[in-house]
Amino acid sequence: MKTTTLPLLIVLILSSLTMPASAQTGSMTFITLGTASGPDAVPDRAQPANALVVGDALYLVDAGDGAGAQLAKAGYRLPNVNGVFLSHLHFDHTGGMLAVLGLRLQLDAAVPLQIFGPPGTQAFIDGLLAAMEPARGAAFGVPGRTWQHHLTVRELRAGDTVMLADLMVNVAENSHYQSPQYRAAEGEVSLSYRFASADRTIVFTGDTGPSEAVTALAQDADLLVSEMMDIPQALANVKRINPGMPAPVLEGLEIHFRAHHVTPEQVAQMAAQARVGAVVVTHFGPGIGTPEQAAAYATTMAASYDGPVSFANDLDRY
């Protein structure tokens, strides 16, 4: 891996706060449509959603609230989406799916849509389709005119592979639903994805805590797109918003944060162990308010990882 000096690393990260990253050369581009950490809406960032462009194919990777509008801002039309990869079924990552499906109907989208996700995805999509029935029955108010969904759902587990014409996708189960204090019920699964085209490999962690499986999935990838959390700052925000929160509840929340999300140090260590070419941070809680914060995180991460790191803004391209 080419070593990047700390001053250059800080400049790289600071530039990502004010200007979109340019698209990389090659056949695959990753666009961070929404970079908020969720679940609460914020005024300056959309909910978690991404687009993956591979040649002429277009995919969504998670679809939080507003994903369709963000896709339009990026220059793409919703009817042209070929597939959706859901990392897990938390609402900040799936809230835009009703609009994705409903607007496809209204736009009479003929492009078949493949939806991939963890166990529970079929029930989730079936529920959305059921909720759409009154509108689908009304159609355009034209006698004899009907809408067709043109979609299929495939539920995935660790070790699965999805083969598409232009893309190979490998799947790992991460630790977002697992911790020593909480073992998820059977079927509660959060996924990470490795997307490989002819000339590039991108790994998307989704929401995850520390995970050897995710590190293994990311081995030698060109780009690692990772969530990240500043846990002390997140807890400080919780205390400020909820000054009367009982101490046991706050302690439980910290345990949850540390088990189900990754810190700047952990992202850097994972990137170094996996020997990835570059790191993009998205879904970063509670967010970066100043360039000084970005520089501090850059310094922390550079202690373990010597590659380039960017903190993504909405609509950045990599």
Q: What is the pLDDT of residues 76-93, one digit of tens each?
A: 999 999 999 999 999 999
- The pLDDT value given to residue 181: 60
- How far apart are alpha carbons 259 and 176 in whole angstroms? 7
- Tokens matching residue 29: 């581009």
- The pLDDT value given to residue 175: 93
Following CA atoms 7, 12, 18, 23 in sequence, which dihedral angle do they give, to the nearest 10 degrees? Answer: 170
E-only strand ranges, the chain: 28-34, 49-54, 57-63, 83-85, 113-117, 151-155, 161-164, 167-173, 178-179, 182-183, 191-196, 201-204, 223-229, 279-285, 309-311, 316-317
- The pLDDT value given to residue 188: 84
- The pLDDT value given to residue 252: 85
End-to-end CA distance of the chain: 18
For residue 102, pLDDT beyond 90: yes
Length of the chain: 318
For residue 22, pLDDT beyond 70: no
Do residues 285 and 261 touch, judged by C-beta distance below 8 A? Answer: yes
Alpha-carbon separation of residue 101 from 89, 113, 125, 162, 163 (angstroms): 16, 9, 9, 22, 23
33-78 tens-digit pLDDT: 999 998 889 999 999 999 999 999 999 999 999 999 999 999 999 9
Do residues 30 and 50 touch, judged by C-beta distance below 8 A? Answer: yes
Q: At what angle do helices 231-241 and 247-260 cross, to 10 degrees?
A: 150
- How far apart are alpha carbons 74 and 68 in whole angstroms? 10
All residues at 6 or more sequence positions from 179 whose CB lies less than 8 Å from its CB, including other chains:
209, 255, 256, 259, 260
- How far apart are alpha carbons 47 and 222 in whole angstroms? 25
For residue 12, pLDDT beyond 50: no
- The pLDDT value given to residue 63: 98
Residue type, 132: M
230-266 tens-digit pLDDT: 989 988 988 998 999 999 998 888 888 888 899 999 9
For residue 5, pLDDT beyond 60: no
112-162 tens-digit pLDDT: 999 999 999 999 999 999 999 988 777 666 777 778 889 999 999 999 999
Burial 154-190 (b: 16+ CB within 10 A, else e): ebbeeeeebebeebebbbbbbbbbbeeeeeeeeebbb
Q: How confident is the model at residue 17 (pLDDT cuts 50, 70, 90)?
A: very low
Q: How confident is the model at residue 182 (pLDDT cuts 50, 70, 90)?
A: low
For residue 200, pLDDT beyond 70: yes
E-only strand ranges, 86-238: 113-117, 151-155, 161-164, 167-173, 178-179, 182-183, 191-196, 201-204, 223-229
For residue 11, pLDDT beyond 70: no
User: Which domains does the chain carry?
Assistant: 6-317 (3.60.15.10)
pTM across the whole model: 0.88
